[in-house]
Structure 1
C-alpha cells in the first residue's frame, strides 16, 4: 500500500429550512488521484459518510459513487450535491443521463424510479411512530414514513440502510424519496432524519425531480492508503 494525501469537499445536502441538518457527502473532485475501485472503496470506508463521490470528468459530470461498503450505480443525495458543486446541467451515469438545475435556493436533479436501488417502503400511522423507531438490526433497507399532512403532501420519514457498514441511519436519501414519490404519484415535501428536507415532483414523462438545499461545509485534507492492484 502507498500513503497519499487528498482534498475532500464535504457538503451538506438536503438541509432544513433554517440551514441545519442535511446529509454529509464527501466529493473527491480529482477522481484520477484514486483511480481503482478497491482504493475508492477503502477511502469511502475510511471517511464513513453515507456516500462518497469520485469525479472522473467534471465537465461531463461523470461520477463514481460509493457507500462505506459498496459501489452504487445511482444515489440521490450524492447527485444533488455533486451537480451543485460542479455546476453542470447533466451528470453522466451508467444508468443514464441525469439532468440538473438550480433555482437559487434548491438544487434539483431529474431521475427515474427504476434507477434507484430497491428499498422497503414501510408506512406508519403517525409522525410520532416514526420518531419512536429504533435502528433495526442489519438486513433489509427500510424507508419508514408517515403522513404529516396528506392533503399538503407533507411526509415524515427515517431511513435505515441495514447494511452493517457503520451507517445505521441515513439522514436524507434521495433514492428512497424517488421511490416513494413514484409509488404515491404526487409531489412530496419530506422531513427526514433530524430535520432534513427533500422536495420531489413527478413529471409527465415518468421522470421525477428531486430537490434540496446544498452547502459546502469544508475542504478536508485526509491521508489514506491506496490499495495495490495486481497488473493484468
Structure 2
C-alpha cells in the first residue's frame, strides 16, 4: 500500500482458526524512507492502526514500534506479525532482543514481562460479563478477562487502551496476554475481541512465549 510516498504492508495478527479476525498491523519494511521519530509518529497517526512498525534492518530484525500517539519499546502483536513477515530468528527492539520462531500455522515470540507497558489486568467472574462490557472512559489501559475453562487454560478477554487516540478497543494484544500469563504462571488459550486467538506459555527464567496466526491483508 502507499501513504503518500511510503509503502507499507498490512497484516492481521492473532487471527482465529479460519483466518478471520486478528488485529491489523502496519509494517513499513524500508524504515529508512521515514527516518525521523516525529515523521514516524505522524505516519503512525495517519495510518491509524493500533501499532505501526518501521523496519530499520530486515536481516537483523531491528524494528521501531509506534501507536498513533506514542513510541513503544516493545509490543506483542507487532512483534508476532513482523517476525512472521521477515522470517528472522530474532527481533531487536529498544526493550531487548525478542526470540522468534515459526511453528506450523503459528508465529511465536519470546519476551519478558517487564518489557510490556503497564496494564491493569481486571478479572471478571464470567466470560459473559466480559462480553457485556462497554468501552470505559479514557484513563488507564485495561485488560478485562475471565476464565472460560480454567482447567483447560481457556480465557475470554477484551482490551481497552484508554488513550483517547481513536483506538477504543484493541482486537488482540500480545503484551497484555504476556502479562496475564506471567501473573497466572501457566499456558493460556485466549479468545480476545470479536474472535482473535492468542496462545501463550511460560518459559524458563521468566520468559514468556506468545503465538498466533498471521495473515497478509494487503
Which TM-score band applies after superposition, normalised by the shorter structure? Answer: over 0.9
Kindly indicate whether residue 126 of structure 2 is the aligned counterpart of residue 161 of structure 1. no
Cα displacement string for residues 115-153 of structure 1 (whole angstroms, at most 9, x for unaligned residues): 000000000010100010000000000000000000000
Distance in 2 between the 1:34 and 1:4 partners?
Answer: 12
Aligned to 2:107: 107
Aligned to 2:145: 145
Cα displacement string for residues 55-94 of structure 1 (whole angstroms, at most 9, x for unaligned residues): 0000111000000000000000000000000010011112
Query: Alpha-carbon deviation of 1:189?
Result: 0.1
Aligned to 1:67: 67
SS of equivalent residue, structure 2 residue 79:
helix
SS of equivalent residue, structure 2 residue 172:
coil
Structure number with higher relative contact order (C-alpha < 8 Å, ≥ 6 residues apart): 1
**How does 1:83-232 map onto structure 2 within 5 Å?**
83-218=83-218
SS of equivalent residue, structure 2 residue 5:
strand
Structure 2: segments with no counterpart, 5+ residues: none
- Following TM superposition, the consecutive aligned residue runs of length 4 or more in structure 1 with deviations greater than 6 angstroms are none
SS of equivalent residue, structure 1 residue 74:
coil
Query: Alpha-carbon deviation of 1:204?
Result: 1.9
Distance in 2 between the 1:144 and 1:183 partners?
Answer: 14
Cα displacement string for residues 162-221 of structure 1 (whole angstroms, at most 9, x for unaligned residues): 000110000000000000000000000000000000000001221000000001010xxx
Aligned to 1:224: none
Does the Cα contact within 8 Å between 2:172 and 2:192 map onto a contact in 1?
yes
Query: Alpha-carbon deviation of 1:4?
Result: 4.3
Query: Alpha-carbon deviation of 1:8?
Result: 1.0
Aligned to 1:56: 56
Structure 1: segments with no counterpart, 5+ residues: 219-232
Q: Which has the larger radius of gyration?
A: 1
Aligned to 2:5: 5
SS of equivalent residue, structure 1 residue 205:
helix
Does the Cα contact within 8 Å between 2:64 and 2:94 map onto a contact in 1?
no
Q: How many aligned residue pairs are there?
A: 216
SS of equivalent residue, structure 2 residue 42:
helix
Cα displacement string for residues 2-23 of structure 1 (whole angstroms, at most 9, x for unaligned residues): x941111000000001111000
CA RMSD, aligned part only? 0.9
